[in-house]
Every structure is written in structure tokens, then in C-alpha cells.
Structure 1
Amino acid sequence: MRIYRGLKPVKAMTFDLDDTLYDNWPVIMKVEKEMAQWLYQKHPVSASLSLEEWQGIKQQVASENPALKHDVTVWRETQIKRGLLQLGYSQQQAEQAAREGIEHALWLRNQVDVPQETHRVMAELSQRIPLVAITNGNVDPHKIGLGQYFQLILKAGPDGRAKPYPDMFEKAQQYLGFDANNILHVGDHLRTDVYGAKKNGFQACWFNDTGSNLYLSSKASVLPDVEIEQLSDLMRLI
């Protein structure tokens, strides 16, 4: 653990989810692979577009409506609908297919292996201070066994713009009722989590379990207050 600034008393913590409380990369890779297979099987005409073309549609709809980047579920649904419309589906057919696609994507998204160490630490922390989840993703903490530890779960899209924007940080602070500088935000991403927390007055804990060098990272624009390599280090901060 590295302390970069003297910490103020930590009365509550907010947590990023993906790649902080579990390894999310394999989950996302599986979602993308199996969603492509699902689309080709259920809607064979979709195979007439390459994966690169489907990715291009995703970027196109986001350029037309930048707000989509703040809600990954709606973004994917819009991508599927637009692609199938281009391939000749009616509006009703495309909307139905997109809804079914999202149901499957969310099922895949919630197939997450949460380490026992995460459960141990979160169970202990939740007995001592209030915890809030703040995620830019669309995982359902209750479906992966983490919901029990949080008093509040905030998701980009339904609960405002994605981190580092202030929307969810502000909602978390209002719910917790503490000064922002008495709330420690824990996350792996130097921009969305560390910069987002500091910009909004929170203390910031960088979860760095990959051994990255803070000073060599292009994503580092502000120093975290503390850096940890394992979640159990958090017990020493309260």
C-alpha cells in the first residue's frame, strides 16, 4: 500500500465494480463472442455484415447520440436495432430482435466469478461503514452475489452520466450524508475512478492489482490519495 496524501477519516466507501471487485476482461470477451454467435444464429442475415461493420454501426449511433456512451445497455440495443434495420428488418422486427438480444447479453454479462477474498473483505467492510457501488457498466450486483454489501447501487445511464462525470458521485454523497472528503472511492481506472473521485471532492483509492506504474500511465492526471494492490488493504484505512 502506498499513501500519497494524508487521509481524512474514512466514514464511507464507494466502489467501482468491473476489474476492481472481480476480473471483468474475460467476461466482456465472452459476451462479445457469444453475442456475435447469438445474432448470427437467431438472425442469419446479420452475418452479411462483418464484425468490423457491426463495430462501425456501434460507433455511428454513438456519434449521432453521444448520450448512448453513458448507458452501455441502451447503446448495444440501439446498435442491434440499427444494424438490422439496415439489413431490411421492419422497425417492429428490429426492435423485438434488439430486446431479445439485450436479454441474452445481460444474462451473459452476469456470469461473473467473484473471488472469495472479495466476499470476505466486502462482508467485513459492510459491517463497519456504509458502502455504495458506482459503476459505468451494466452488471447486476445482486445476480453475482455482491448486492448484499451495498446500501445503494448506482449505474451509469439510469443514475446519470458515466464516471468521471459528477452525477453518480453527487448521488452517492447525498445518500451517504457525509462530506465528500470523508468518502473514499475505490477503483482500478485512473481516469474514471481516481480522477473522477478527486474532481468531485472524494478521496481516491487506486486499486492496482496489475503492478502498473502510476508515473508511466498516460491515464494518470491526478494522484490518488492511496494505492493498494489487494482489497484487504482497505481494512487498514478505517
Structure 2
Amino acid sequence: MLDISRIRAITLDLDDTLWPIWPTIARAEKVLIEWLLTVAPGASALLASPDTSRMLRAQVASAHAHLSHDLTVLRRETIRAALRQAGEDESLTDQGFDVFFAERQRVELFDDAIAALEFLSARHPVVALSNGNADLQAIGIGRYFRASISAREFGIAKPDPRIFHEAARVLDLPPAAVLHIGDDATLDAHGALGAGMQAAWLNRGDAVWPHPVAPPATVRDLAALCRLLG
């Protein structure tokens, strides 16, 4: 299903491809709430309530719909909204975000992630292509990547073909020479195919392919991907 002979570079999703994202976010939110408890207990209580936190996130997302690609702005403004609603010092927003963001970089890589990064980067230039806001250097895996393109920095999120085309431009290759690897059937696999790339869908959870076109090459984990490309 892949034309391996055409692959000259790889773009790679990050969240839920190299590490599980929701345990990371949950831990970062817990650390933020604990920090706020000492400086802004009202905001801490608001964010500790699942219903209230969800409401604040929805309000911020609606107010900043034009920045839906920028998870950093949305997180920072949610902290600001909690401080404002609690009548506490909004100047704590940036400090609060920094607390959250530092913890967000403490990811727990999937067991097969480092071996796959070593395998892939030894064969092709690899570019990170993510809608999230992970910091490759802070995580400690920057050496495996030629470049990193985020929706926040580029201004457009996957599955828009323009962000895939930007990665191909950075690599100085046509999209057809690039293989994109990611866990999301729509954002990653279908988006890459629509941009003219090849795609490999990392389907760890046996999800059903949701699109009418045939799915791309599909693997259960990164070790299987390496075997497929090997």
C-alpha cells in the first residue's frame, strides 16, 4: 500500500503518536490547579471543577474562534478567564501558563517511540508536524528532527493541506515524496492524502476508518511501522 521507493522524507505527528497526550494534559492541569491554590484559590477551585472548567474552555474557544489552531492562546486565556471570574489577579496568567506548559513537556513516550525515531531519522529527514504545542527540545527528542512545524506557528492546523505543503517546502521536496505518519484518521492520514502525500495511519486502538476512500497503510504501533518500511 506504500510506494517505499518514492519516500525521501517523513513528517511525523507528535501527540498520541509518540506519547499519550491526555494523561500528560491531565497531570499538567493538576499541577496548575495546585499552584493556583497558593496564589489564586478561587481560580484554582473553578478549574478543579470539571463542569466549570469545561464551560470556561468553551467560552474562550468561542471568543477566540479565529485562533482555534493556537492551543497556547486558548490555554492561557482559559487561565485568565478563571482568574477574572474569581475576581483574582489576572497578571498571574502568564505565570500560571508557564507552570502548566513546563509540566506539559514531561511526556511519557510510548515504549517503541525512541527506537522508531532512531530508525526513521537514520533513513530520512524527519519533520514534526503537529497541531499541539509540544517543545521537542524540552522533551529531549529534538535531535531526531530536521525541523518542527506547529499549527500555532504556521497559523493553520491539520488537516488543511497548506500545513502539509509547508512541511514539503521546508524539506524542499514535492508532497508525493513525503510520508506522513500519525494517529488521527482525519487530521493526519486523510489530511496527508488530500495534500498529495503518502500516509501511514498509526491505529493503536483498532478504530474504524471513517472516510469513504480506502484507508492508507495502517499499523498498530511504531514497531510495526518500522517493519513495514524496513
- On whether the aligned pair clears a TM of 0.5, the verdict is yes
User: What is the aligned partner in structure 2 of residue 75 from structure 1?
Assistant: 74
The answer to whether the 8 Å contact 1:206/1:227 transfers is yes
User: What is the aligned partner in structure 2 of residue 225 from structure 1?
Assistant: 216
The CA RMSD over aligned residues, in Å, is: 2.1
User: What is the aligned partner in structure 1 of residue 11 from structure 2?
Assistant: 14
TM-score by length of 1: 0.86
* Shift, 1:148, TM fit: 0.7
* Shift, 1:48, TM fit: 5.7
Return 5+ residue gaps in structure 1 as ranges: none
The SS at the match of 2:128 is: strand
Mapped partners of 1:48, 1:149: distance in 2:
40
- Residue 222 of structure 2 aligns to which amino acid in structure 1? L
Identity %: 33
Q: What are the within-5 Å matches in structure 2 for residues 1-238 of structure 1?
A: 3=1, 9-47=6-44, 49=46, 50-89=49-88, 93-94=89-90, 96-115=91-110, 117-214=112-209, 219-220=210-211, 222-235=213-226, 236-237=228-229
What is the aligned length? 227
Q: Which moved more, 1:40-49 or 1:135-144?
A: 40-49
Mapped partners of 2:60, 2:197: distance in 1:
33
Mapped partners of 1:116, 1:189: distance in 2:
19
Cα distance, 1:103–1:194 mapped onto 2, change above 3 Å: same
Cα distance, 1:88–1:189 mapped onto 2, change above 3 Å: same
Cα distance, 1:38–1:51 mapped onto 2, change above 3 Å: farther
* Shift, 1:23, TM fit: 2.1
The answer to whether the 8 Å contact 2:64/2:74 transfers is no
Mapped partners of 2:216, 2:4: distance in 1:
7
* Shift, 1:101, TM fit: 1.0
Post-superposition CA distance 1:184-212 (Å, at most 9, x none): 10000011111211121111110012233
Structure with the higher fraction of residues in helix conformation: 2
The SS at the match of 2:156 is: coil
Cα distance, 1:48–1:178 mapped onto 2, change above 3 Å: closer
Cα distance, 1:8–1:199 mapped onto 2, change above 3 Å: farther
The answer to whether the 8 Å contact 1:195/1:221 transfers is no
Mapped partners of 2:45, 2:119: distance in 1:
52
